[in-house]
Amino acid sequence: MAGPRGFDGAKKIDGIRRHILVDTTGLLLGVHTTPANIQDRAAFADLLTACDTNTVTKVWADKGDTGTAPAEAAAKAGIDLDIACGPKPVGWFVVQPRRWVVERTNGWINHHKRLVRQYETTRAAHEGFLVLSQIGLLLRRLDRGQLFDTL
Residue 150 lies in a domain: no
Residue 123 lies in a domain: yes
Q: Where are the alpha helices (H) located in the chain, listed in sequence order?
A: 40-49, 68-77, 99-109, 113-117, 123-143
User: What is the domain count for the chain?
Assistant: 1
Q: Which pLDDT score is estimated for 3?
A: 64
Q: 59 pairs with which residues across the strands?
A: 81
Range of the domain at 105: 6-85+94-141
How remote is the C-alpha of 57 from its chain's centroid?
Answer: 18
Q: What is the pTM of this model?
A: 0.74
Q: Long-range pairs for 70-76 at CB < 8 Å and ≥24 separation? A: 70/41, 70/44, 70/45, 73/44, 73/45, 73/48, 74/44, 74/48
Cβ-based neighbours of 133, under 8 Å, separated by 6 or more: 108, 109, 111, 112, 115, 151
Q: What CATH number should be reported for the domain holding residue 33?
A: 3.30.420.10
CB 56 within 8 A of CB 44: no
Read off the pLDDT of residues 59-110 as tens digits, 9 standing for 90 and up: 888 777 888 888 899 888 888 888 877 677 777 777 777 777 888 888 888 8
With b meaning 16 or more CB within 10 Å and e meaning fewer, what string describes 72-82? Answer: ebbeebeeebe
Q: Which pLDDT score is estimated for 27?
A: 85
Residue 151 lies in a domain: no
